[in-house]
Amino acid sequence: MRRKLAAGNWKMNGTSAELARLTTLAESHGSAGCDVLICPPATLLSRAAEALSGSAIAVGGQDCHGATSGAHTGDISAGMLKDAGASHVILGHSERRADHGEGDALVRTKSEAAIAAGLTAVICLGESLSERDAGQTLDVIGTQLEGSTPDGASGARVVIAYEPVWAIGTGKVPTTDQIGEVHDFIRTGLTRRFGAEAGDAIRILYGGSVKPGNAAEIFAVSNVDGALVGGASLKPEDFGPIIDALEASAG
Ligand SMILES: O=C(CO)COP(=O)(O)O
């Protein structure tokens, strides 16, 4: 059985004033019946790790460089994230693919660097609205999955997040059939490439406008092993009920 994972992506939000929200979350959901991960901006990583120490809530970065060190002004290596207290890193988010021109090969290089540093890579895939409207969703997801995922991926070191670009921050959510179709497709791709055991152990999260009001319905879909939550992860009063719904779906 794959352990469920509720992951929060704070994106470019949060200063020291917001650290108290982590203490609140740790008090209410510090030992939930599912894994919980918060990915704050890099500036808050070590203090977030401190605020959550003693709880089971893990901390992750939102990106890393593919190299271990060197002349890369403004970048952060996977080892540095680990040193700051991170256990995970989000890679290939559609906002990085769009804002920074990141492609599958670079995402794969970064995921290899993350795994080499002892982190778990949360690799994001997702189609645009025009790709969905053109009936290209599974082709796009298949290409991203193949190109962005490193060889030898395991359940311990890789998590896949399916985030349709058109559902991010828009309040639009695919139907449960649409989510199920893509998640089943990803599962098949994972088992084909990595074998039944590893392919079945890799968790597949759904992301895009997950809220307390739609979480239970999404978590009931086959091969949905949790969520990657943006806006609703910023407030414990929203993220808490999402964690509760995930826990309840685990039975
Ligand atoms: O991009 C996301 C998480 O990585 C989803 O963002 P929202 O939950 O704000 O739609």
Q: What is the pLDDT of residues 134-144, one digit of tens each?
A: 999 999 999 99
pLDDT reported for residue 251:
72
Ligand 1 pocket, mutate which of 99, 206, 209 (most atoms under 8 A from CB): 209
- Mean per-residue pLDDT for 49-68? 97
Question: Which residue intervals of 3-116 are DSSP H helices?
Answer: 19-29, 45-52, 78-83, 94-99, 104-116
pLDDT reported for residue 32:
81
Residue 131 CA to ligand 1 center (angstroms) comes to: 19
Helix (H) or strand (E) holding 125: strand 120-125
Average pLDDT taken over every residue of the chain: 97
pLDDT reported for residue 241:
98
Who's near 122: CB < 8 A, 6+ residues apart? Answer: 7, 37, 60, 88, 89, 90, 91, 159, 160, 161, 205, 228
Angle between helices 19-29 and 45-52 (to 10 degrees): 30
- Mean per-residue pLDDT for 225-241? 98
Q: What confidence tens digit (pLDDT) does each residue in 103-128 have?
A: 999 999 999 999 999 999 999 999 99
Phi and psi torsions of 183, nearest 5°: -65, -40
Tokens of 233: 């992860």
What percentage of the chain exceeds 90 in pLDDT? 98
Residue 227 CA to ligand 1 center (angstroms) comes to: 9
* Residue 209 pLDDT grade (very low, low, confident, very high; cuts 50, 70, 90): very high
Q: Is there an atom of ligand 1 within 6 Å of 169 CB?
A: yes
Question: Which residue intervals of 64-175 are DSSP H helices?
Answer: 78-83, 94-99, 104-116, 129-133, 137-148
Q: Is there an atom of ligand 1 within 6 Å of 207 CB?
A: yes
Q: Which residues pair with 205 in a beta bridge?
A: 161
- Whether 163 is a known active-site residue: answer yes
Residue 71 CA to ligand 1 center (angstroms) comes to: 31
pLDDT reported for residue 1:
83
CA 67 – CA 30 distance, rounded (Å) = 33
Q: Is there an atom of ligand 1 within 6 Å of 94 CB?
A: no
Q: Among the options 93, 95, 102, 127, which is catalytic?
A: 93
Complete DSSP assignment for 217-242: HHHTSTT--EEEESGGGS-HHHHHHH
Q: Is there an atom of ligand 1 within 6 Å of 92 CB?
A: no
pLDDT tops 90 at residue 69? yes
Question: Ligand 1 atom 8: the closest Cα is on which residue?
Answer: 230
CATH superfamily of 5-250: Aldolase class I (3.20.20.70)
Residue 216 CA to ligand 1 center (angstroms) comes to: 17
The interface predicted TM-score of the complex, written ipTM, equals 0.99
- Mean per-residue pLDDT for 164-192? 98
Q: Which residues pair with 162 in a beta bridge?
A: 125, 206
Q: Is there an atom of ligand 1 within 6 Å of 168 CB?
A: yes
Q: Is there an atom of ligand 1 within 6 Å of 228 CB?
A: yes
What percentage of the chain exceeds 70 in pLDDT? 100
93 CA closest ligand 1 atom index = 4
Residue 197 CA to ligand 1 center (angstroms) comes to: 29
pLDDT tops 80 at residue 27? yes
Phi and psi torsions of 216, nearest 5°: -60, -40
Closest CA to 169 of 82, 230, 83: 230
